[in-house]
Amino acid sequence: MLQTRPLHAGFGIEVLGLDLSAPDSDAAVDELVRQVDRHSLILVRGQALSNQRHVDISRRFGDLMTHVLKQFLTTGLPEIYVLSNVTEDGKPIGNHKEGWNWHSDLSYVAEPSMGSLLYAVEVPPEGADTLFASMHLAYESLPAETQARIRNLTATHSYAGYYGKAFADRAPLTEEQKARTPDVVHPVVRTHPVTGRLSLYVGQDIVKQINDLPADEAETLLAALNRHAISDEFTYRHKWQQGDLIIWDNRCTMHCATPYEDTRYRRIMHRTTVAGTRPF
């Protein structure tokens, strides 16, 4: 039986007194797999995970995905995507300024990620918090007429569009990377495949447009839904400590990284991404 405490009144738990570094904790990991469907977000502090153990834990949640930006798969294990401002031998070891917008991981592919496991290897003493928002709570708090209006709408998710905005100072995507990430269409309201609970499925920058509506109306609606989705009452702010492991459900949450003094402090984060199914 896991010992837990809530992170937010509506979603998220911290699991206490758990050491995931040894294989004999696999039964506890399997309980985390079950709990993430219910709570959407799980924090386990004070971990000392090897890269291989991180991957092994992640595989108990499902098959793992490999990020399209291969230059940031620098640990020797391609399942780990590195987020970092650190440079070694003149090359960045990870992607810096990734995720400084509200999004759910890999929503821009036909079968987006079910969940992610982000492990804090090295964190600044201040800044670099991550915000998480419950899309279940966001949808359920909408007026009934708005729920009805958006229930059957779709939206186009575009990695190329996001990359052009977020990384305009970098080399453009290669033809191979573009071929791996064509625009995709997903529902604006998606159904959780385990619980059946509904949630908003929107986001900043990666969601290019809402379809099926006049352009002006679609743009206004997307902006309004994005503003609503990240309201304070649906949001948990996480202040990282070294050794934190956070597991979240991309099917019903969004998250956003925040800036820090990146010329003063180092930050190294390792993320694994669990494969999911087509939203419906």
Per-residue pLDDT tens over the stretch 86-99 = 999 999 999 998 88
Cα angle for residues 129, 132, 137 (degrees, 5° grid): 155
Tell me if 279 sits within 8 A of 145, measured CB to CB.
no
User: Which positions ≥6 away from 146 have C-beta within 8 Å?
Assistant: none
Nearest by Cα to 154 from 94, 209, 104: 209
As annotated, the active-site residues are: 103, 105, 255, 271
All structural domains of the chain, each given as residue ranges with its CATH number in brackets, are: 4-123+236-274 (3.60.130.10), 134-230 (3.60.130.10)
Torsional class of 51: left (φ above 0), alpha (ψ -120 to 50), beta (otherwise) = alpha
- For residue 231, what pLDDT is reported? 98
d(CA 80, CA 65): 9
pLDDT tens, 147-206?
999 999 999 999 888 877 778 777 888 888 888 889 999 999 999 999 999 999 999 999
Cβ atoms of 200 and 230 within 8 Å: the answer is no
Write the burial class of residue 32 (CB in 10 Å: 0-12 exposed, 13-18 middle, 19+ buried): buried
pLDDT in tens, 32-87: 999 999 999 999 999 999 999 999 999 999 999 999 899 999 999 999 999 999 99
- What amino acid is encoded at 244 in this protein? D
